[in-house]
Structure 1
Amino acid sequence: MDWLYSLCMPGTGGGGGETATRRHPLAAAGGLIDSAPPGVGTVYDAFLYRLRVEPDKETMGRRRVLRVVDEARGDGRVWSRFELGDYEWTTYREAAQTTRALGAGLAELVAGGAPRVAIHAPTSREWTLCMLACYSQAMQVVTAYDTLGDDGLAHAVAEAGASLLLVKADQLPAVARIAPRIRAVRAVVYYQDHYGMPPAACAALDAVRGQFAHVMAMDDVEALGRARPRDVRVARREDTALVMYTSGTTGAPRGALIAHGGLLAICGAIHALVPAYIDYAHDRVLSYLPLSHVLAFFVETYCIYSGIKIGYGAPRTLTEANMVPGCPGDIRALRPAVMLGVPQVWNTIRATILRQVDQRPWAVRQLFHAAVELKTWLVRRGLPTGLLDCVVFKKTRAATGGRLKIAITGGAQINPHVQKLVAAAVCPMIHGYGLTEASGLVAVQIPGDTTLGNVGPPVPSVEMKLVDVPEAGYFARDGRGEVCVRGPSVFQGYLGDDPQAREAVTEDGWLRTGDIGEWTPRGQLAIIDRRKNLVKLVSGEYVALEALESAYSSSKYVTNICVVADAHMARPCAIVNMDPAAVAHWAAEARLCAADDVADSRPFREMVYGDLLAVARQCRLQRQQILADIRIDPDLWTPENGMLTAASKLRRAAIHKRNAKRLQEIAAVV
């Protein structure tokens, strides 16, 4: 062991049921970072800083829709394919002119009202320009996932007391439906992106106009601000920047209050770690994850501050799957250097790669898997891998544009086997760990760290310790316990008098995350459990649902998986989810009849179950962690059908309800 990723602070730990407090070596020597250099402490100041340094640098890019081709499918559904143009870019100078005018217009509409603006729209250049416009007038932004249903949207807007609601045009029908429940809203602003104004939005527009004082297009608000300009008014670093609503896995979403200073402390921490790995003049980041999620938001804030170009994409147009022939998806069109993804995204990419590999001859399959192992071995020893990249992994690297050099995963645990394959076949992958209540990031692997199964050391803006969880058998004396975080990026609490807020942060400032962690010998953090997802079996032993889902997700058959366990069971079971195309593919591979009910057939289920047992052996799971039985749900879980949150986390109750009959079948045989 030649060096440590984090250091123990003198005079901490050693008793009382907690480990020593650990910090990143930079923070151990120089103190916790609380801003981005040179002392930038708010989001709009970060934008102004880059504007002063590089006013004509391109910052935000988008693609226009040239045409949409509808295809009729055999089942009666219509499938749309898109032809998009090249990326068109906005400079910092142009963005400044837009955001100042738009901010002045928004201020006119909410004059005398609450300084909160709710944004209910998908990730886009318009979302970011609206956010910056709010910050140019010291307004707070309330985030509301564009996949929230009517109840979730009404709850967020009403509880936050937002006086203005900004939406994409196709959300206007939802605004019309919830209008009686959001009486504090004085103005609704909508924008049409390059997809145009849907017929349903046109129909809803008149209804919306009859229920709010002002209903205006975003372009008209910008024109209003140009006619009535205002001086820029920037908040203080301690002021609230975001009322960021969690995605609500078990109940109504809660609004976390995040300060400008917390976000810029994260930016400062990132800037202390990554400059050696980034070409700020040329590198691009693909933005497609929801900006209502803290992971995407803080990364975008850092890009705006540092000058990394942001190219916007959409889940439907990332690849060529939904494009007209010859038109590249967003990844290949942008050719990003950095790409974010939640584990579900990387699981899908890995499954796609393996599906393609399995179609090749036996010798080619063996060569591919041997090359993954060899490249992993070479990278860990600092040896060149150019030959493997050019010969074996050329196609997989080209599929992501050929310039990708860092893949970032966050939002939940990722299976080490998924991380290993993506790192070999595509580009190095680093695992980060964060939560909304800590402004997004508390630990991250450093580019070049090839170890698996950990999320790296604490970032330089926080310090961290582990605290006993005796009921689950986790003790600080063993280097295990609940992860607790303290620093300038910890949130200000939840909106309203939420008793959970009082429980979340201790009197001396420690945020209790609810995650169970373990220190590696070199001072990295590994997330091994989630406190609320620990379930005691009939034997008295505990199993961690999320940890098992992460392990089993390395099966090539799994698009998503929900592990189920309770106090009456000796071993857990699971609902395995895959889309109909994957079911048909694997059924054809196994030479099973690809009928509509093949997913419920015993032969197909046994094939998938056998692979899951192989995964359990590979991961060295204990007996009580091995699945007793499974059932397969062949309809893909998505945020739109309510099975996943907007952050792609499982909604367990909804999945259980949907699969109640399948779970009853399991209960009868387990």
Structure 2
Amino acid sequence: MLNKLYSLCMPRSGGASDSSETPVHRYPSTIERGLTDCAPPNVGTVYDALLYRLGQEPDKTTMGRRRVLGISERTHPGSSGDEGSGKKWSYFRLSDYEWMTYREIAQLTREMGAGLAHIAGGLAGARVAIYAPTSREWTLCMLSCYSQAMEVVTAYDTLGDEGVVHAMNEAEACVAFVKADQMPVLDRIGSRLRTVKAIVYYSDFYGMPKAAEAALERVRGRFQVLEIAELRQIGQQHPRDLHVAGHGDTALVMYTSGTTGPPKGVLVAHGGLLSICGAIHELVPECIDYEADRVLSYLPLSHVLAFFVETYCLYSGIRIGYGTPRTLTEDNVEGCLGDLRALQPAVMLGVPQVWNTMRASILRQVVRRPWAVQQIFHGAVELKTWLTYYGLPTGLLDRVVFRQTRQGTGGHLKIAITGGAQVNRHVQKFIAATICPMIHGYGLSEASGLVSVQVPGDVTLGNIGPPVPSVEIKLVDVPENGYFARDGRGEIWVRGPSVFQGYLNNSAMTQEVLTKDGWLKTGDIGEWTPLGQLAIVDRKKNLVKLAHGEYIALEALESAYSNSKYVSNICVCADARMTRPCAIVNMDSASIAHWAAEAGIAYGSADELAANPDFVGLVYDDLAAAARQNNLHTQELLASICIDPELWTPENGMLTAASKLRRADIQKHNKKRLQDMYAHM
């Protein structure tokens, strides 16, 4: 492993001492044969991926979901102990997973596709906006569109009224597919939708709320409204032959969750997605049991990470089981297992916030044990990391020390995949030791979701692996930020079959990021490791110059400080007036209650505790320890912190739907706390 090169330089591709760019790197197998542009054997569209698996295993099951058998509500007491002062919380009783065969999926999507084509006037390339959370129905609608060469417009179910109006109008969607409880949104914005003719809806996890029932009647007065079963009936009454798009045709108009400004419509081709599937298929077969393994789908399918993974699963035959963030564990279910333990997945995707939360949950359990047991646990993490690095067996540690942590995720996880942002290397090491190997990937919508990923078996930390077989990468000078190719650093440029076609109706912005010879400028700063892996160093737009002229990278610091056990999320703040940054630390109320009890600090409310100097000092000291652990420089050390006890989520506008920080909104929400903190810096 120590002598393996994960990527190689293309001959005669630059990199001289005076060059403004590094040599072009590729995955070793593609140096001679060229980049991967489809999935074998020559599968080039998403619906062809389904048809390929249908031809191989028509009666194999996939796309499992759980039905809600009952919902109960309980009121949790507030911090004062008064039952009436707490919040109501829903608990779900769920069925076991229920599955569909590929034969059933093909039949259903062919009929639904015929129904969609009928109500859209039979126009090839007509667009259907899917405005719904991740579910089996989401995927069935997507496949139905592709059975008739229709394009899918993705809109996060947390996008908000203005974002939804912008996406549907700019993409000229003619049909909107929604979950029933989003009818009030369509009721509010319906008069502003210029091209939508019909609404197709489904009732799933929560059924049809009363507010949605009332809104549904008003929506019926403006649009043709169909329940999903009615759409299928129309397709049965007006059957059509399959009409599958071409390799180069648009599959997705994917509206990215920008942190500022209106969302942009990224045009992703079928061929781009299937080139990613072909690349994955070259990297993972040795560690996947395609007959038995399962993947848990709970991240937003409107995000490219979840979408391309699900496409690969449909193509390769890995079973997909759907879950929700609320029901992953037993915290919000009763009389049944959470999704993780019920499905027992072999592969799980997550953004860094998921892994930070999982690590914090494990640590909360560890600190309740005797001091000697805590030392054994942490020593076992270090020992397993060392053994794994040198390829030595770790079965005894897994059975004795980490059995309980592994069982919490179902006990069958082989690979944890993290993406969406940079995960802290210490968090990656912790998850790899206590649960399963974690591989770090890097991608963006403009590259069909995947640019580089650690190869299974690569146990190094702090990198995002080599270029996947569908792309080539070079690093280009960013002189204004002090990054030069001669030092092996620069902006990451990507080229290959998976690079996008451009932004919808925005040629100026397309030209800003896409060169004439096909290079995508990612805006991320990277460097090459000695083994040919890529590491993320910075992001061009998140560099801040401090008062003494030194630059700091906000996202890199947030990744480092996320190693603190107290951090659910963190927003580092700095400007040119400051000599050191400060930070807003986000902690959920359960974490606050636990750590306050551990420290013996009494409090009456979460807001009160967040301002308690003893508690703030406790958190600050742990952040300082995280800084030392990550070898941060003096100008990167936090001068002060404040604590926001309201958990940041996409629903309250503090995070994007991809769980990235909305800095301006977070700072506006914490304006008073920031002012108090600045006054004492």
Which residue is 1:209 aligned to? 220
Equivalent runs, 1:12-23 vs 2, <5 Å? 12-15=13-16, 16-23=19-26
Q: Does 1:348 align with 2:357?
A: yes
Which residue is 2:496 aligned to? 487
Aligned partners of 2:25 and 2:355: how far apart in 1?
30
Query: Which residue, out of 656, 661, 666, partners 1:650?
Result: 661
- Offset at residue 194 of structure 1 (A): 4.5
User: Is residue 588–residue 594 contact of structure 1 (8 Å, CA) maintained in 2?
Assistant: no
Equivalent runs, 1:567-582 vs 2, <5 Å? 567-582=576-591
Query: Which residue, out of 163, 175, 183, partners 1:172?
Result: 183
Deviations 1:350-370 (A, max 9, x none): 010111101111000000000
Equivalent runs, 1:539-558 vs 2, <5 Å? 539-558=548-567
The ranges of structure 1 where at least 4 consecutive aligned residues each deviate by more than 3 angstroms after the TM superposition are: none
Q: Does 1:475 align with 2:478?
A: no
Aligned partners of 2:639 and 2:113: how far apart in 1?
57
Change (3 A) 1:498 1:562: farther
- Offset at residue 663 of structure 1 (A): 1.1
Q: Does 1:395 align with 2:404?
A: yes
- Offset at residue 613 of structure 1 (A): 0.5
Query: CA RMSD of the aligned region, Å?
Result: 0.9
Which residue is 2:367 aligned to? 358
- Offset at residue 668 of structure 1 (A): 1.2
Aligned partners of 2:205 and 2:589: how far apart in 1?
30
Deviations 1:573-596 (A, max 9, x none): 000000111111111111111321
Q: Secondary structure at the match of 1:25?
A: coil
Query: Which residue, out of 13, 34, 38, partners 2:37?
Result: 34
- Offset at residue 628 of structure 1 (A): 0.5
Which residue is 1:637 aligned to? 648
Equivalent runs, 1:85-164 vs 2, <5 Å? 85-111=95-121, 115-164=126-175
Equivalent runs, 1:258-269 vs 2, <5 Å? 258-269=268-279
Which residue is 2:524 aligned to? 515
Aligned partners of 1:496 and 1:573: how far apart in 2?
40
Question: Which letter maps to 2:261?
Answer: G
Question: Which letter maps to 1:10?
Answer: P
Q: Secondary structure at the match of 2:585?
A: strand
- Offset at residue 599 of structure 1 (A): 1.0
Query: Which residue, out of 190, 194, 207, partners 1:183?
Result: 194
Deviations 1:542-572 (A, max 9, x none): 1000000000001000000000011111000
Q: Does 1:235 align with 2:245?
A: yes
Q: Secondary structure at the match of 2:29?
A: helix
Q: Which runs of 5+ in 2 are unaligned?
A: 77-82
Q: Secondary structure at the match of 2:502?
A: coil
Which residue is 1:662 aligned to? 673
Q: Does 1:287 align with 2:290?
A: no
Aligned partners of 1:52 and 1:112: how far apart in 2?
27
User: Is residue 489–residue 527 contact of structure 2 (8 Å, CA) maintained in 1?
Assistant: yes
Q: Which runs of 5+ in 1 are unaligned?
A: none
User: Is residue 304–residue 449 contact of structure 2 (8 Å, CA) maintained in 1?
Assistant: yes
Aligned partners of 2:270 and 2:519: how far apart in 1?
19
Query: Which residue, out of 367, 375, 379, partners 1:370?
Result: 379
Q: Secondary structure at the match of 2:184?
A: helix
User: Is residue 166–residue 189 contact of structure 1 (8 Å, CA) maintained in 2?
Assistant: yes
- Offset at residue 76 of structure 1 (A): 4.3
Equivalent runs, 1:451-462 vs 2, <5 Å? 451-462=460-471
Aligned partners of 1:376 and 1:560: how far apart in 2?
25
Which residue is 1:308 aligned to? 318
Which residue is 2:9 aligned to? 8
Q: Does 1:297 align with 2:307?
A: yes
Which residue is 2:52 aligned to? 49
Aligned partners of 2:391 and 2:599: how far apart in 1?
40
Aligned partners of 1:619 and 1:76: how far apart in 2?
39
Which residue is 1:277 aligned to? 287
Aligned partners of 1:501 and 1:94: how far apart in 2?
40
Aligned partners of 1:60 and 1:525: how far apart in 2?
34
Aligned partners of 1:194 and 1:431: how far apart in 2?
31
Aligned partners of 2:382 and 2:397: how far apart in 1?
11
- Offset at residue 77 of structure 1 (A): 2.4
Deviations 1:243-262 (A, max 9, x none): 00001211211110000000
User: Is residue 417–residue 438 contact of structure 2 (8 Å, CA) maintained in 1?
Assistant: yes
- When normalised by structure 1's length, the TM-score is 0.99
Question: Which letter maps to 1:270?
Answer: I
Aligned partners of 1:598 and 1:191: how far apart in 2?
43
- Offset at residue 669 of structure 1 (A): 2.0
Deviations 1:395-428 (A, max 9, x none): 0000011100000000000000000000000000
Q: Secondary structure at the match of 2:91?
A: strand
Aligned partners of 1:500 and 1:343: how far apart in 2?
29
- Offset at residue 195 of structure 1 (A): 2.9
User: Is residue 15–residue 485 contact of structure 2 (8 Å, CA) maintained in 1?
Assistant: no
Which residue is 2:79 aligned to? none
- Offset at residue 498 of structure 1 (A): 4.3
